[in-house]
Amino acid sequence: MFKRTKCAGSCFRKTKVYMEKYNAEDIVKVNVLNKDNVHIRGFHDVGGGIQIVLRRKIDTETRFPHGGSNSGSSSSRGGSMMTGNGTTATTTPTTGAHHFKSNQTTCKIPHDGLEILKKYGYMNGNHDDDDDDSIIGISKNTEEEEEDDDDDDNDDEPYGAIVTFVIPNLSHEDQVQIMPNTTTTSSTATSTNKQINKLAPPLLWKVEIPPDPSIALEAITVLDGSLNVHPPSLFENSDDDILSPGGQEKEEQEQEEVESYSSDVSCTACHPTNIYINGYQSWSFSGSVSQGDEQPKSAMPDFLSKAFNYGADIPPPASSSIYEEEDDEDGEEEWVGNEGGMSGGGGGGGTEPLMRQRGKYVRACPKDGNDACNYQKLTDYKSDFFTCVSCMDKEDCTIDDSDESSHDNAMNNCILDENGGPAMVLGFLSQRRQYGLITFDSDLCCVAMHASCQRTIASKSEGISTDWAYCQILPGGYYDEEPMAFYLNAVSAYNVARPFQNFPPLTGWCSWYHYYENIDSESLNTNFTRLKDLNSTITSDAVIIDDGYITAWGDWDSLKPKSFPKFRGGMKHLADEIRKNGMTPGLWIAPFACDKHSKLAREHPDWIIRNDEGRLANSSNCGKFFYGLDATNPAVREYAFKCIRRAVKEWGYRVLKLDFLYAACLQGNGKYDISMTRAETMYLALQTLRAAAGPDTFIIGCGCPIGPAIGLIDANRVSADTGPTWYPDFPLPWWDHGTLPSLRAMVRNTVTRSSLGHRFWHNDPDCILLGNTTRLSKIEIMSAATVIAMTGGMLLLSDDLSKLESDRLKMATRIYPVTGVTAVSLDLHNTSKSGVPCIMRMWCTDTMEMEAMGSSAAQLTTYNAKRTSFVPNKPWMNPWKRDRNCLPVVKGLGTWSLVSLSNWLDEPAVVSIPMEAALPPKHHFTSKYQLHLGYHVFNFWSEKYHWVAADQVYKTISKTLEPHQSEIFHVKPMSLDQCQYIGSDLHFTCGYEVEEFLSTAKSVQLKLRSELKRSGFVYLYIPCYADKMSINSSGSSTEKGEVIFQTPKIWHNQTFYGGQVIRIWTKINADGSDSDGRITVQVQGE
């Protein structure tokens, strides 16, 4: 079933909204498509599909009397609605002097939906030819079908809509190979493998509406129903059981159990517990929300926040003015019955009652398995573009039982995502046609998917088509780490994403967070020189000159005369200076925004978007009010093209930070072309910017809607602005969960959107602020560094580098170079009470061949980033192999995992992870680890070592963390008879800094990367109890290292095993000498 909502009226006038609802009874034809005739970009194999042609229900025309229509109206619009009982209802606008005439044509339904499916070959496998890649329009009939059509009384009737369903095959065979997850034990491996082999492919579908310039479409609801989750026990029998004697009876019994459970929605054993919310654009809230909790919203009033977060619309209720006040003055409830136009979901064809209560439409939702009705809000949860609903067992726990005090203040008292129940991923493959919205009620029961047209005139000759909708259901315990992995890969493929077609992962400096708008050429040049001096400590790829160089937004060639005098060469001279200092010049521009006082606004007021009432559209920026430029206007796009072209070609900037991009598609019908949706407008605007910049310019999107940008930009901001405080600073509301600048907002979205990185684009988490000019503590800066390091995004500094203290700078050097590898958030879909995921994991191994192993750190980072990134026209990365969050290291270092634990609460808390979940994948262990001597656990930030016995693996790794504190743990199995590299305080990976490593039972030869100046401790494990050690570090000799730990002796095969952990101070001078960074250890002892 799908619905479309239409409105009658004209621009800047009150409108009436009508609804058409289509069910199986409305089918007039089904065209069966084979896989050779179905082509969807990015999918290598699509296993056929069907096209369902629906009858046109009502032929409606709207007329206005002479002189009665508003000058802003480009066409007259009408509408109609089909209610659930199959009858036609029409209404008449009552606003002003409008006159509405409806000529309706009705027809009898010749047969039901099942008969249609049989008639047109769905049951016997017949298909039609279709050469259109996007499957638009009705396919040509075969001769056999044409004969059938002669008997169809409705053959000459114009079609009303077409719904196309296809089922793509998985992209490559590896995705169905048996790859049990890390925490899968031998007793559960068989069931896990069965589930993997029985993976159901996703379902794709879309709706096409024929051209009809007499209407304006509000929305197309492509899914409207209810969600039931069945207990896993109902499906645990194997195929052999079903085929065995008595198997049919078992199957019938199971079906009875399923039907019984379906009627008992009150069963919560597998009820959805969490929903992942994706925000509209860069700064909007994204993250998981527990069922029943309120979805976080901006604390700012609408005029300061709505446009920031305003993506797709919830379709307005039918037969009521969309401009009426939401709340009734008397506070009474207003009923909208079947003729009201909003129908219920679920499997039934009838329409459930609707009630308007306090401005929100609610529906009767059957519950508790009886006739009692409980009215739930239909749109408690709203997610733009995509969502994931998952089932988690809240009774499970990751608290260390040995620490009783941890139960009171523990953060993550729930299981990890990889051990969760079934999940359902819903979304759209793109947002090139409409902004898509997925809604759920507070019980995560009633679900709907809307393609928001927002009063688009259906005047195009090809009509209106939705983007492909996507649905995939994953069994519990199946998806290992990322339930959304298949969907995100599909979106990347469909939009031809190219995360690393330009530049390595970007590192550098941005002027904004220290200087804000108070920049000048002198202060910029000072920092350019300082960056060059720091090149041997932390290398910068690029420098971004942010806002503050022009007199007004929109006038992009009007430099501030005092700060950027012409005699100094302007912006081109600054770009040349950056280039002379060995970096790539970057520039901030907001190409579709303009200030009220700008020359552009005075000379071209017709370029500015107006809202539905004819007033200038509100951009909702809390810092300043500005106008949005109408990207549907060719003159606006030409102006934006010239501005970008000037910055790249004339001034010489190869990195562009394009900000406030959402301004190109502000809500409002006061636009040049009202036949374009906001999503189409945004996509066209971004295409214009990419064409102007050229393919070799690195484009960073900011304030950018997520869907339309995929495939057109190189990097995208995924969070709100960071800030000098943990919470938004006064006078901004500190409790905001929306778009306000703060370190907490930056941390939250950087983690919750980490799965987009290296798939859609390169994630920009915003800058890391190190200086004393902020009110951030060292602990909070360390946490910011942890998040940036583990998520593998861009690394930009933004302090006055001439005044930055060395101890603050060292926090950045310990996460540089960035690895180009993205950790996975283990509690993304089951967040703690802080609302921010607190556990991330990646792993390192020497079992993977690396072509760039002998290269510089920057080259190695580029290699890793490209290896783990989505690449068009290549098989998708196998999620079970975990290659996406794997960092290859030099031979001899072994395999280990990195786990970060964070406390995002405002009070101390114990944060923990099961030891099994912290281990690296078992299939990468070598034979030497089969004797379980235990595990090395090294805390990176606190530089502490722990030994964990093999029989303690069932327990947890936990630590009491201060408010907003993070720690990175390294977990490596102990070697039986080889010296091991445990780690260092030089780089957060505890291995990426190593260029060579050779070891025996009593000797070590290692070479640290020496292109950057570093100093710190290196930690080694010696598998014996040394009496004497000879150590040479960077050419300096010492008689012994400092022993910090001795492991207990373990008796095995007539031999005692054990050893000691030592640490060695080293200093890398980056002088190019052969001994620089080289350490040798020779041990004498038992």
Q: Which helix (H) or strand (E) holds 779?
A: helix 778-791
pLDDT along the chain (1086 residues), means of 10: 60 64 87 83 82 75 32 32 28 27 29 38 36 34 38 55 87 42 37 50 92 84 84 46 41 44 39 91 93 88 83 75 39 33 33 40 43 51 95 54 45 65 92 96 92 84 91 76 87 90 82 95 94 91 96 96 87 96 96 96 96 87 86 95 96 97 92 91 96 94 96 95 92 83 95 94 95 94 97 94 91 93 91 84 87 68 83 75 88 95 95 90 52 87 93 87 97 91 96 94 93 94 87 80 87 79 93 92 80
* pLDDT at residue 275, rounded to an integer: 94
Estimate the share of the chain in helix, then strand, then coil, as percent rounded to the nearest 5.
20, 30, 50
DSSP structural state of residue 885: G
Is the separation of the CB atoms in 199 and 192 below 8 Å?
Answer: no
DSSP string, 162-220: EEEEEEEPPSSGGGGS----TT--HHHHHHHHHHHHTPPPPEEEEEEE--EEEEEEEEE
DSSP string, 505-516: S-EEEESHHHHT
Is the separation of the CB atoms in 788 and 795 below 8 Å?
Answer: yes
SS3 sequence of 30-93: EEEECHHHCCCCCCCCEEEEEEEEEECCCCCCCCCCCCCCCCCCCCCCCCCEECCCCCEECCCC
pTM assigned to the model:
0.84
Burial label, 889 (beta-carbon count in 10 A; 0-12, 13-18, 19+): buried
* pLDDT at residue 271, rounded to an integer: 80
Residues with Cβ within 8 Å of residue 232, at least 6 apart in sequence? 270, 421, 422, 475, 476
Distance of CA 555 to the CA centre of its chain: 34
| Helix locations, 646-734, DSSP H | 678-693, 706-709
Token duo for residue 652: 């010489």
Residues with Cβ within 8 Å of residue 348, at least 6 apart in sequence? none
DSSP structural state of residue 129: B
* pLDDT at residue 881, rounded to an integer: 76
Nearest CA to 673 out of 619, 637, 644 is that of 637
Is the separation of the CB atoms in 901 and 966 below 8 Å?
Answer: yes
**In this structure, are strands 27-33 and 46-55 parallel, antiparallel, or unpaired?**
antiparallel
């609802």: which residue's tokens? 21
Nearest-angstrom CA–CA distance, 416 and 1063 = 34
SS3 sequence of 655-676: EEEECCHHHHHCCCCECCCCCC
Q: Alpha-carbon Rg of the chain, whole angstroms?
A: 31
Nearest-angstrom CA–CA distance, 371 and 373 = 6
- CA torsion 973→978→983→986, rounded to 10°? -160
DSSP string, 273-319: -EEEE--SBTTS--EEEETTSPPP--SS-GGGTHHHH--SPPPPPTT
Bridge-partner residues for 994, per DSSP?
1008
